[in-house]
Amino acid sequence: MALTFSGVVSSMTKEISLEHVWVEFGEFTAVHKANLNIAGGEFFSFLGPSGCGKTTLLRCISGFQEPTRGKVRIGGEDMKGVGPNKRPTALIFQNLALFPLRSVADNIAFPLEVRGVDKKTRRKRADELLELIALPGQGDKKVSELSGGQKQRVAIARALAVEPDILLLDEPLSALDLKLRQHMRTELRAIQKQVGLTFIYITHDQGEALTMSDRIAVMNKGKIEQIGDGRSIYDHPTTSFVASFVGENNVLDGTVLSNDGKVMQIDAGMGTPFTVESHPAGGPALAPGDACHLFIRPEALRVSRDDSSVNQFETNFVTEEFEGNMRHIMMNTNGKDLKLSLINDGTNAIDANSPVKLDFAPELGIALKPGELASA
């Protein structure tokens, strides 16, 4: 592989920076002051619900959309006025946008064709790329004869034929069924490692973002809420939106009783006050008397072994969703619903007819300033 991509690998280190990028459509602000750097060779994802501005941001990078304000730099160069056909980016569209009237090889060789490369070289290059995506000898097929996953790979090969520095992917897996989607995650990551290009990936599927990315930017309503690797986004969300959007979370309204910089006491109306760690990654500090959202992941809750655990409270069983490997149990305390996820290890610690005691570790409870929650 290295032989065909030696040229690409050497030029892959171009970094991208967005400097105070705004995009406005009339009254509507699609992107609100986006500010970030993406290093060369990084697998970077934009994660957010539909309409959050992630696709608009991608179109700013690819050149289909000019920012209203701010700058897009690629490899340090300002991209203002540079058309999509002049940028070192290649975009893989949500619907892949393979040309239906051209054969597989002609699709892959299209970038070379428009650059005036002769037919023989084009064919040779297409065959090399087909080899790379593990579809050797399929060049003469029609696009419609390929399966969903094969089309996906052809689209990647076509984008690679441009010899771009940056590959942009706009929810390319959303049309595939679940099994294939999971398989393609691994495959995409493998291709990225192999060719060493910068991948910028757009998705609303947190699973995709978490499994593939080096770093993730979570977006909502045009704003970037948090940037970080998968672990920090999941374990240490800095806004209520991120906490509620990435993964499942129980949210309780509470009031801060005390905060000494290391631990906080929070009254969440569950009987005893809860003790949680003060946020290590920063985020706005909470002072005594402040209202807050307390997030506890369903898998962080556990059934108490004895009566002496911290953050212990009593709940009543409501209902159970049985998923095979996991059991999702809905509980209720003082009118507040809580979800509890347990691994199905054959034991049954929940008695449907009498109150159950639950607790959680202080480092797994996250108290944040009240903010917008992601709708379910």
Binding site for other proteins (CB under 8 A): 62-64, 83-86, 89-91, 93-95, 97, 99, 101, 110-111, 113-115, 158-159, 161-162
Residues 232/51, Cβ–Cβ less than 8 Å: no
Of 52 and 91, the one with the shorter C-beta distance to other proteins is: 91
**CA 168, chain centre distance (Å):** 14
Among candidate residues 178, 156, 211, 197, the one with its CA nearest the CA of residue 45? 211
CA angle 126, 136, 146 (to 5 degrees): 90
Residue 85 C-beta: closest distance to other proteins, Å? 5
Nearer to other proteins, 135 or 166 (CB): 166
Dihedral sign of CA atoms 232, 237, 238, 241 in order = positive
Alpha helix locations (H) across the chain? 2-10, 54-62, 104-108, 110-113, 119-132, 148-161, 178-195, 206-212, 230-235, 240-245
Strands (E), 283-335: 291-296, 302-303, 313-322, 326-333
Q: Ramachandran region of residue 324, left (φ > 0), alpha (ψ -120 to 50) or beta?
A: left
Nearer to other proteins, 98 or 264 (CB): 98
Of the candidates 75, 68, 135, 62, the one whose C-alpha atom is nearest the C-alpha of residue 105 is 135
Q: Output the CA–CA distances (angstroms, integers) from residue 203 to 58, 102, 174, 217, 295, in the order listed.
A: 11, 28, 8, 11, 24
* Residue whose CB is less far from other proteins, 89 or 244: 89
Nearer to other proteins (CB atom), residue 115 or residue 124: 115
End-to-end CA distance of the chain: 44
Taking the least distance from each CB to other proteins, the nearer of 159 and 266 is 159
Nearer to other proteins, 113 or 127 (CB): 113
Of 27 and 306, the one with the shorter C-beta distance to other proteins is: 27
The smaller minimum CB distance to other proteins, of residues 79 and 224, is found at: 79
Question: Least separation, in Å, of the C-beta of 21 and other proteins?
Answer: 19
Question: Phi, psi at residue 365, to the nearest 5°?
Answer: -95, 135
Q: How far is the CB of 101 from other proteins (least distance, A)?
A: 5
> Which amino acid, residue 219?
M
Nearest approach in angstroms of CB 372 to other proteins is 31
Considering only CA atoms, give the Rg of the chain.
Answer: 25
Q: Please, which residues have CB within 8 angstroms of residue 104's CB and are 6 or more apart in sequence?
A: 130, 135, 138, 139, 140, 141, 142, 143, 146, 154
Backbone angles phi, psi at 298, to 5 degrees: -55, -35
